[in-house]
Amino acid sequence: MPHDYANLFRLDGRHALVVGAGSGIGREAALALAAHGARVTCADRDLPAAEQTAALGNADRDTSDAQGNPTRGTSDAQGNAALTPYELNVLDPEAITTAAQTLDPVDILVFTAATNVRKRILDYTGEEFDRVVALNLRASFDLIRAFGKQMADRGRGSIIGFSSIRATTVEPGQSVYAATKAGLVQLLRTAAAELGPNGVRVNAIAPGVVETPLTAQIKANQPWYDAYAAKSALNRWATPDELAGAVVYLASDAASFVTGSVLHVDAGWTAIDGRFTPPT
């Protein structure tokens, strides 16, 4: 029988937890997952921001069901809100444990929360090091453990973490951030190896330069902003919504044989050698 390719990216009946859904890439990921039929918990330490994301996704929402028929409204087939806000501080391991125990079983876990301190190594403080590692790596570890276990117990699930081009290409001032993003890739790959036999897929997305609150410092400096734009093959920055397709893909059955992978969404940044175009 031919495969149902028309619905390959549909997520009907699945519950997605998006950590960092209050803004930027996390917000767009939550909206995109809901648009493809998932019920989404929008988790963020900033509850009003998570509420705004949920409101954006629920207000006058046009979607389609698994048969492609247009639907309109704020609920799934069981009457649940398509997007619901949830306050979560991932720096608190107990809060993560509580979320895993109290939320409905999670089929898709996406986490985007990260921080960066742009300083050269000799200027870095121990407190700054600990702060970046705590959010970028330790919190990811706690999320994978808490929700990976329940996925493994149920025999299915997709975990999607956000790495960065800085996991492979670095520049001065990015030492600890780059180290955490490289470490996250290996953490996710190991989780893919360990959880794969239980039907759980684990992958990383590595964005290039994206206009988010985390990169506001660069955007405010026009020469710096322009230099980054010129480095990519497309000569521009990404907007957060341009990462949403990668999230939907890895969450869906379209990626049923994809695990332990790093999907670069970087406009060719990591493929291009150097910053000089030789003369023809």
- Tokens 């999230």 belong to 247
CA 151 to chain centre: 18
* 86 is a catalytic site residue: no
- H/E/C letters for each residue in 190-251? HHHHHHHHHCEEEEEEEECCECCHHHHHHHCCHHHHHHHHHHCCCCCCECHHHHHHHHHHHH
**Among candidates 192, 18, 36, which has minimal Cα distance to 112?**
18
Partners of residue 108 on adjacent β-strands: 16, 158
**Among candidates 209, 93, 92, which has minimal Cα distance to 145?**
93
In angstroms, the Cα distances linking 225 to 95, 152, 174, 230, 249 are: 37, 43, 16, 9, 29
Per the residue annotation, which of 5, 177, 225, 228 is the catalytic one? 177
Catalytic residues: 177
